[in-house]
Structure 1
Amino acid sequence: MKETRVQKVLEAMEERAVPQMIISDPVAIFYLTGKWIHPGERMLALYLHVNGGHKLVINKLFPQEKDLGVDLIWYDDVEDAVEILSRHVDRNAVMGIDKTWPARFLLRLQELGGGSAFVNASSIVDDVRQIKDGEEQELMRISSRINDSVMEKVIPLVTKGMTEQELEQEVRRIYKEAGCEGVSFDPITSYGKNGADPHHAADGTRGKRGDSVVIDIGGFKDNYASDMTRTVFIGEVSDRAREIYEIVREANMRGIAAAKPGNRMCDVDLAARSYIEEKGYGQYFTHRTGHSIGLEDHEAGDVSSVNTDIIRPGQCFSVEPGIYLPDEEIGVRIEDLVLITEDGCEVLNHFTKDLIVVPQE
């Protein structure tokens, strides 16, 4: 078990009057134990109690060769896994459940009286995970450095006549070549009008001269995600597209400047959004400004107008304003990850944000 992380979770449980908790999310279990277990449809449950006696209830199909620092409770496919779990819980205390535990398990535990009441306790682990420890911070830096190098290799490919789907496949190959476990989300490689759709799925479109190309990519390195967006142009850039690009770049930098301890997450959103609104394009910035990131590309804690949480050192999140003009076939997004320090933030992406026009061969 990652004892420091477990202790932080237990302290948060006490603060919120949740004496016991079942954690089922394999990502959260990895965070707390250092072990990936992918159970499929079978039950996997890490049981924590503020007084100790933690258990990991696990199917015999997933033998563990190393000591995980927690008592293992085994079951097989013909046994009632929830009933076995229920033998180890405090039936007279509130039970916290995380958001990923399937209803078929939760309802069975309720039938068995496995707690005096049941509450959604996902935010306990989510809040602890938002603050990256020193080990995690370095892994995030390493992952983002690789992302810089991948972006450098991908951008010249936009003039090679590839379809969006072919370019996406090249992105996946380059991450593997760079030593990543894979991509951290489906790459976005959008030409021209498709770039005006913020989450366009790659299709058979090929780029043409003057197109903006939105490249939103990230990979997993040693389990930690990277994420970055750059927008480049094929052959030439119109004055109109250049204007949009420079507005988005300035909004990105203003958002980054607001990313510091003591500010709120909504302050970062406002810093980026208000500039785009000031320039007359507020209605064309159609998504939140960012999201937290770590073991998953999207973690709890978004950068939006409604998140009033105070920013704390150790948080890592994206700043990614955009302007999307479908009628003009222009889409621009610029995204960086920031790691919050004691007095500001460290930008994890170092690939240039200067406007790039990729020459056509």
Structure 2
Amino acid sequence: MDTNKLNRILDLMKEQEVPQMIISDPMAIFYLTGKKIVPGERLLALYLNINGGHKLVVNKLFPQEKDLGVELVWYDDIEDGVEILSRFVEKGKTIGVDKTWPAKFLLRLQELEPESKFVNGSLIVDAIRKVKNDDEKQLLREASLANDRVMEELIPLTAKGYTEVELNRIVRGLYEKSGHSGVSFDPITAYGKSGADPHHVTDGSKGKRGDSVVLDIGGILNDYCSDMTRTVFLGEVSDKAREVYEIVKEAQQRGIEAAKPGNRWCDVDFACRNYIEEKGYGAYFTHRTGHSIGLEDHEYGDVSAANEEIIKPGQCFSIEPGIYLMEEGIGVRIEDLVLITEDGCEVLNKFPKDLIVVPME
């Protein structure tokens, strides 16, 4: 296991008086061990104890060829994996468990450990994952720069008459061609009124002259995710759409300026939202301003009015305000990832944000 990451988790477990923890999230296990195991419906559990004796309980269907830095405990399909796991648990003591651990496993362990107190251990792991080390920072930089290049190739294609579904398929091909292992989420390629729906499901619509086109895309490069949004216009842009675009652009810049250590996550949201409200469009900014990112596109920690946590160096999140005018068929969102530094933030996306009108043939 990664000793530095492990020790940070163990220190936080001690601080929060959680003497032992069961990590079942495959991505959290990958974060610590560097090994991806996708167990399906079977039990996979990394047991951590502040006094040592860590174990990885894994089904024999998933043989491991390399040393993962933790003792492996095997079971097969006719054995009770939770009962085997319970042999290592300290009786009557608090146990941290993942927020996503299936109830069938948790309920069984509660039967076996009726004297123990169970708490959400994910908050500890998530807090550690939220602050990136130097290697992770570099991987996030590289992923975002690669995403910029995909966006650059994609934008001219918006005026070629493709449907949203076809354009979505093209985006996936661009990531594959550029060495990504996949997309970090289902790309949003939305024309006109579709773009005025913040999380529109791609359909067979085609763009027409004057449409805004919302392109929300991200890929996975060397296990780390990228995520960015640009909004462009086909052939021409109306005065109203230009006004909305410039408001969103300025709101996003204000959010970027607020993204620095000592401020709260909600301060970034307020910086974007207050400006949009000041311009009369507050009712049309209908989602939070951003989310954390790393090994997964949406990690713990959101940029919203409800999150009063203090921003710390090493954290990475999106800033993506938007205005959505369904009746007028105008949707605009601009998104970049920022990496918090000692005195501000580094914007990981370098692709320009000046308004682009894509020529139509």
TM-score interval for Structure 1 and Structure 2 normalised by the shorter chain: over 0.9
After the TM superposition, which of the residue ranges 273-282 and 108-117 deviates more from structure 2? Answer: 108-117
Match of 1:178 in 2: 178
In the alignment, the residues of structure 1 paired with residue 270 and residue 45 of structure 2 have an alpha-carbon distance, to the nearest angstrom, of 40
Q: Runs of 4 or more off by more than 6 Å in structure 1? A: none
Match of 2:157 in 1: 157
SS at match of 1:213: strand
Q: Which amino acid in the other structure matches residue 232 of structure 1?
A: V
| Count of residues paired in the alignment | 361
Fraction of identical pairs, as percent: 70
Match of 1:346 in 2: 346
SS at match of 1:100: coil
Match of 1:53 in 2: 53
- In the TM superposition, what whole-angstrom CA distance separates every residue of 1:267-324 from its partner, at most 9, and x where no partner exists? 0000000000000000000000000000000000000001000000000000000000
Indicate yes or no: 2:300 matched with 1:300: yes
CA contact (8 A) 1:89 1:115 kept: no
Q: 1:92 offset after TM fit, Å?
A: 2.4
In the alignment, the residues of structure 1 paired with residue 98 and residue 182 of structure 2 have an alpha-carbon distance, to the nearest angstrom, of 27
Match of 1:197 in 2: 197
In the alignment, the residues of structure 2 paired with residue 45 and residue 293 of structure 1 have an alpha-carbon distance, to the nearest angstrom, of 24
Q: Which amino acid in the other structure matches residue 35 of structure 1?
A: K
In the alignment, the residues of structure 2 paired with residue 325 and residue 270 of structure 1 have an alpha-carbon distance, to the nearest angstrom, of 21
Q: Which amino acid in the other structure matches residue 147 of structure 1?
A: N
Match of 1:86 in 2: 86
CA contact (8 A) 1:209 1:235 kept: yes
In the alignment, the residues of structure 2 paired with residue 260 and residue 215 of structure 1 have an alpha-carbon distance, to the nearest angstrom, of 27
In the alignment, the residues of structure 1 paired with residue 110 and residue 288 of structure 2 have an alpha-carbon distance, to the nearest angstrom, of 37
* 1:216-231 paired onto structure 2 within 5 Å: 216-231=216-231
| TM-score, length-scaled by structure 2 | 0.99
Match of 1:43 in 2: 43
- Alignment CA distance shift 1:40-1:114 (3 Å): farther
Indicate yes or no: 2:203 matched with 1:209: no
Match of 2:9 in 1: 9
Match of 2:143 in 1: 143
Match of 2:334 in 1: 334
Match of 1:257 in 2: 257
SS at match of 1:216: strand
After the TM superposition, which of the residue ranges 107-116 and 335-344 deviates more from structure 2? Answer: 107-116
SS at match of 2:4: helix
In the alignment, the residues of structure 2 paired with residue 225 and residue 115 of structure 1 have an alpha-carbon distance, to the nearest angstrom, of 41
Match of 1:267 in 2: 267
After the TM superposition, which of the residue ranges 106-115 and 149-158 deviates more from structure 2? Answer: 106-115
Q: 1:115 offset after TM fit, Å?
A: 5.7
In the alignment, the residues of structure 2 paired with residue 270 and residue 102 of structure 1 have an alpha-carbon distance, to the nearest angstrom, of 36
In the alignment, the residues of structure 2 paired with residue 146 and residue 36 of structure 1 have an alpha-carbon distance, to the nearest angstrom, of 23
**RMSD (Å), alpha carbons:** 0.7
SS at match of 1:57: strand
Indicate yes or no: 2:48 matched with 1:33: no
Q: Which amino acid in the other structure matches residue 50 of structure 2?
A: V
In the alignment, the residues of structure 2 paired with residue 188 and residue 127 of structure 1 have an alpha-carbon distance, to the nearest angstrom, of 29
Q: 1:121 offset after TM fit, Å?
A: 1.4
* 1:129-140 paired onto structure 2 within 5 Å: 129-140=129-140
